[in-house]
Amino acid sequence: MDILITEDLKKYYEMGEVTVKALDGIDLKVEKGEFLAIVGTSGSGKSTLLHMLGGLDIPTSGKVIVDGKDISKMTKDELAIFRRRKTGFVFQNYNLLPLMSIYENIVLPIKLDGINPDEMYIEQIIKILGLKGKEAMMPGQLSGGQQQRAALARALASKPAIVLADEPTGNLDSRTSLDVLGLIKTAGEKFGQTIVMITHNDEIAQMAGRIIRIEDGKICRGGDTNVKGKE
């Protein structure tokens, strides 16, 4: 079953005289439980695509269908609930709330939903991500890599059906990157999560089940779900 589908998805930005085609007709299908890596040069449209998949941005045209539902047909409230309950998003710039502690940041999406956090699971994530002892600190007191790991902890804390991660290891050394990837993969398999991850790192991309390459807002390799081979 395809949990994520895009149909001729386009996102154009009108910049005075020029039109920037950030996404220019993306047809993508992602199966439930799949681990997909998105690669491509800087400015090729990767973040834009991920934001669309998470319902964080509105397409110029085309469709995004999540779990059989066209997200453009959802009301604002439905979309907010969908984002909070179904998706865990790791932003390229982390997006941690500066006036909340690391622990508060991690459990925020769960608390907003009125659900009690699974404390044991969260402790496990904190430990694996090397954030033990940092729970009470503020994001500004952490290094870039630590903030990145906190953002990942927040995305995984509610065991979302879909994990959308924008360069989740972009600020980590190669050893830590592989550890963090291992965690994403293990959690994904354990909870049947679908993972879509942007990366610039080939070694990291190879850990995914499928790799798609984006250039100039178009998929130039790996867009077909039936082709499971790596590039």
Ligand X SMILES: Nc1ncnc2c1ncn2[C@@H]1O[C@H](COP(=O)(O)OP(=O)(O)OP(=O)(O)O)[C@@H](O)[C@H]1O
* Residues at the interface with ligand X (CB under 6 A): 13, 15, 20, 22, 40, 42-48, 92
Helices of type H across the chain: 46-53, 76-86, 102-112, 119-128, 144-156, 174-191, 202-205
Q: Nearest distance from residue 61's CB to ligand X, in Å? A: 16
Query: What string marks each residue from 90 to 109 as x (binds Mg ion by CB under 5 A) or -?
Result: --x-----------------
What is the nearest approach in angstroms of ligand X to the Cβ of residue 207?
19
- Region near Mg ion per CB under 5 A, out of 2-10, 22-30, 39-47, 209-217: 39-47
Q: Tell me the C-alpha distance between 52 and 50, whole Å.
A: 5
Q: How far apart are CA 133 and CA 150, in angstroms?
A: 12
The token duo for 162 is: 């879909």
Asked if residue 158 lies in contact with residue 186, where contact means CB atoms within 8 angstroms, the answer is no
CA of residue 136 relative to chain centroid, distance: 25
Stretch in the footprint of Mg ion (CB under 5 A) among 61-69, 74-82, 86-94, 177-185:
86-94
Q: How many residues does the chain have?
A: 231
**Minimum CB–partner distance for residue 112 and ligand X (Å):** 26
DSSP per-residue string spanning 39-73 = E--TTSSHHHHHHHHTTSS--SEEEEEETTEEGGG
Nearer to Mg ion, 23 or 157 (CB): 23
**Can residue 47 be called a binding residue for Mg ion (CB under 5 A)?**
yes
The pair of structure tokens assigned to 85 is: 């309950």
Nearer to ligand X, 33 or 145 (CB): 145
For the bound state, the minimum distance from the C-beta of residue 165 to Mg ion, rounded and expressed in Å, comes to 11
Task: Between 101 and 199, name the residue whose CB sits nearer to ligand X.
Answer: 199
Q: Least distance to Mg ion from the beta carbon of 9, Å?
A: 16
Give the nearer residue to ligand X in terms of CB position, either 44 or 147: 44
What is the greatest pairwise CA distance in the chain? 55
Give me the residues that bind Mg ion (CB under 5 A), please: 47, 92
